Structure 1
Amino acid sequence: MYIRSGKRIFDIFIAAAGLILLLPLFILLVLLLSFVHKGKPFFFQQRPGLNEKIFTIIKFRTINNTGKIGMQLAGDVSVTGNFLRRTSLDEIPQLWNVIRGEMSIVGPRPLLTEYLELYSEDQRRRHAVLPGITGWAQVKGRNHLAWEQKFEYDLWYVKNRSFRLDMKIIFLTISRVFRKEGINFRCGSHIDKFSN
């Protein structure tokens, strides 16, 4: 019941409540980032979603104008952007993706479209569910994990998703954000691109 319809209701409730509660912070960040990034507070990028259907993900902009979009080089991230990533505040606009039905609160993170041709048949099964703002791989190590391990956690979630598991992931996510666990973002480092 939860997987068929309850999860969608749960997503809409949490996303709508989050947008309402975070509205003052949202407006403040829009104003701040509009100043920092010359009127462009948001970052838009195409990502594969459910059944590999392409959608446009929305995040707060963290990369300087000289940054290479998608590579997430630490040297290209502004001071403001660094703070947003460490606190995960750059993810707030994705609540709108959830409202639109393009994402879920919990699910495998949507990766770059260029990775689609690199997946094995097993790895492609991560697209059998809506991508999430947070997921099992994120609470298990986030950027510290090797790609193979991330995919294993994603596939485990696809097979075992439930209301209880989603609630566990949400609470673990909140805990890790406050404790800044599993976030590998040091000056001069970068997130390796996936290759097979």
Structure 2
Amino acid sequence: MRVHSAQQRLIRGLNTNTRRNGALRQTGVAALDAVLITVAAYAAYTWRFGLGFVNDTFGPSGTVWAYYAIPAVWMALLAACGAYSLHHLQTGMVEYQRVALGSGLFAGAIGISCYLTMYDLSRGFFVLLFLIGIPALLVGRLARRRVLMHLRRRGHFQTSVLVAGSPAHIDEVARVLRREKWLGYRLVGAVTTADIEETPSGLPVLGKVSEVGDLVHESDVDTVIFAEGSFPDSQHFKRMAWELEELDVQMIVAPALTDISSERLSSRPVAGLPLVYVERPQAMEASRWSKRAFDIIGSGLLLLAAAPIMAAVAIAVKLEDRGPVLFKQTRVGRRGEEFQCLKIRSMVVDAEARKAELEAQNEGAGVLFKMAKDPRITKVGNFIRRFSIDELPQLWNVFRGDMSLVGPRPALPKEVAQYDSDTVRRLDVLPGLTGLWQVSGRSNLSWDETVRLDVYYVDNWSIMQDLSILVRTARAVLGSSGAY
């Protein structure tokens, strides 16, 4: 089988744009950095010498060179550290690490050069330059990535890819690429060893794995992803790498490892064999003293900050129907231990008794009960649920040790009774006030996707991930996305 000529022309056009977009992306990032560094140098110069300090031999007349030299040298070191590599401009923290590394090297180079040459550089100018410049570069990179992700979701800056492997593994890779549209991969088709017209998910099969070179040559595909089942042995893989090297095609290998963070993976070549070492899951680490200390300090500070809000909401709840302010419900915690989960009451007093009448209208995923327009929710409850204010008393649960600031949401005992062997993994850590699935779509996610995200959190826990989730939670709550 071969790609039809019309499709070939389409793919060739897409990938010509892909290469052009890659060059434009690098140029755009470099231009943005140049502007930010120049502004930082100018701001540091103006701020330092505009304040009228004295006793500095390095005055305005001696600083003119810095306005021109600093951006050039700084950007050169950023480039040397790989801050403009397309590979590092994709995803993950590497891009920010390279920017920080290049900036740190530049700061050290200036300090050492001034010391060795006994050049009397203004310390105020030096400190202000990097206090302004480094945060500006990092924020600029973050903003660029956010804009790029938004454009990719709208179909711009796409990279056309072929996926090779067994049909089942091809569909697994395709499912991720279709779900994570912000990655910018456009699926062209599949190549496999099976004699089929399309994969079970409907991705068209364009040929055999042995024909990848011809298909790439004819269609000008920019990237080929090799999943499990692509080759019978390592020699076939090596020969394919040689062939694609001549065609200037990006080769990506997707091993049969899913939902494992990069921090748990390390590659170590042994006698020419690239072995991937996988660190053990982090569920035990998520139960140690560091996370508990983080929870106590964090929940204590948040309780103090949220006290006025909870007091005002408590008055509003009491005035609306004279019912109790707090709602206590038995939930399942770590290792199946039950506890009383606290919430500000957002429903009518007899909400639990009326739940049976509404079971047929359940819109929740899996074992969860959810309704976008639940008639049991009060007027005050509708507002506080929209911004998750009703869950603020759970900070006390966190302070007591029943819950954590971040983790899988605490489930009802009857929900846990329906868990399968994979879903039970959610109970290996303390339940959280917020979690990975809440900041990834909240009520808009399917049950399988909710479980996948919670299990990923359990297996790949880290303090940095907790901090990231808390920041994203604030953004999700303020946007009230998926909350009901």
Mapped contact 2:285–2:461 kept (Cα < 8 A) = no
1:15 aligns with 2:299: yes
| Matching residue within 87, 92, 105 for 2:392 | 92
1:148 aligns with 2:448: yes
Show structure 1 runs of 4+ deviating over 4 A: 69-73
| Matching residue within 59, 65, 87 for 2:349 | 65
Match of 1:82 in 2: 382
**RMSD of Structure 2 on Structure 1 (CA):** 1.7
In structure 2, the gaps of 5 or more residues are: 1-283, 356-368
Mapped contact 2:299–2:396 kept (Cα < 8 A) = yes
Task: Quote the Cα distance in structure 1 between the aligned partners of 2:401 and 2:285.
Answer: 16
Mapped contact 2:403–2:431 kept (Cα < 8 A) = yes
Mapped contact 1:49–1:103 kept (Cα < 8 A) = yes
Q: Write the deviation string for residues 4-42 of structure 1: whole angstroms up to 9, x where unpaired.
A: 211111101111101111111121122221222424001
TM-score if structure 1 supplies the norm length?
0.88
Q: Write the deviation string for residues 145-188 of structure 1: whole angstroms up to 9, x where unpaired.
A: 111111111000000110110011000000011112222x3xxx
SS of equivalent to 2:316: helix
SS of equivalent to 2:401: coil
More moved, 140-149 vs 54-63: 140-149
Mapped contact 1:2–1:163 kept (Cα < 8 A) = no
Greater Rg by CA: 2
Task: Quote the Cα distance in structure 2 between the aligned partners of 1:17 and 1:149.
Answer: 32
Structure 2 counterparts to residues 124-143 of structure 1, below 5 A: 124-143=424-443
1:175 aligns with 2:175: no
More moved, 19-28 vs 54-63: 19-28
TM-score if structure 2 supplies the norm length?
0.37
Mapped contact 1:68–1:76 kept (Cα < 8 A) = no
| Matching residue within 121, 125, 128 for 2:421 | 121
Q: Write the deviation string for residues 35-72 of structure 1: whole angstroms up to 9, x where unpaired.
A: 22424001110000010100010000001124236755
Task: Quote the Cα distance in structure 2 between the aligned partners of 1:2 and 1:114.
Answer: 28
| Number of aligned residue pairs | 184
User: In the alignment, residue 30 of structure 1 is paired with which amino acid?
Assistant: A
Task: Quote the Cα distance in structure 2 between the aligned partners of 1:182 and 1:140.
Answer: 9
Match of 1:51 in 2: 335
Task: Quote the Cα distance in structure 1 between the aligned partners of 2:378 and 2:438.
Answer: 23
Match of 2:409 in 1: 109
Task: Quote the Cα distance in structure 2 between the aligned partners of 1:37 and 1:67.
Answer: 13
In structure 1, the gaps of 5 or more residues are: 186-196
SS of equivalent to 1:109: coil
Mapped contact 2:409–2:432 kept (Cα < 8 A) = yes
Q: Write the deviation string for residues 106-145 of structure 1: whole angstroms up to 9, x where unpaired.
A: 0000111101221111110100000000000111111011
